[in-house]
Amino acid sequence: MTLLHEARRLREMAYAPYSGFQVGAALRSADGRVFGGCNVENAAYPEGTCAEAGAIAAMVAAGARAIAEIVVVADSPTPVAPCGGCRQKIAEFATAETRVTMATLAGQEITMTAKELLPGAFGASHMDKS
């Protein structure tokens, strides 16, 4: 199973009754396990939660703490980048060189590093007062 295949599969499970915009994400943790998520909307928060956040939450709940690679898939004309909050979450659990692939159902892909996706990311080093 590739991460792209898993992200496409999970996209089909998205709950998007308001936007109709389904997104799937799959990541491989540093220890080789695969975790995934899909977007979930609700009436009180119609923009919902992001697929990437779901994949990261699943990884953390399973005890893993490092993203080796992540793929995000949406049915859009061009690949969709993770939102700002998800970019920060990716930066929290990835290295600067971790690959982030954004893909469409039509097969278009863009791959960037986590650093390219979120230059100047806030990190623990910003809180070091020494």
Question: Which positions are catalytic?
Answer: 52
Q: Using alpha carbons, select from 129, 94, 89 the residue that is nearest to residue 115.
A: 94
Distances (CA, A) of 105 to 7, 9, 80: 10, 11, 11
Say if residues 34 and 9 touch (Cβ distance below 8 Å).
no
What angle, 0 to 180 degrees and rounded to 10, lies between the N-to-C axes of helices 3-11 and 51-61?
110
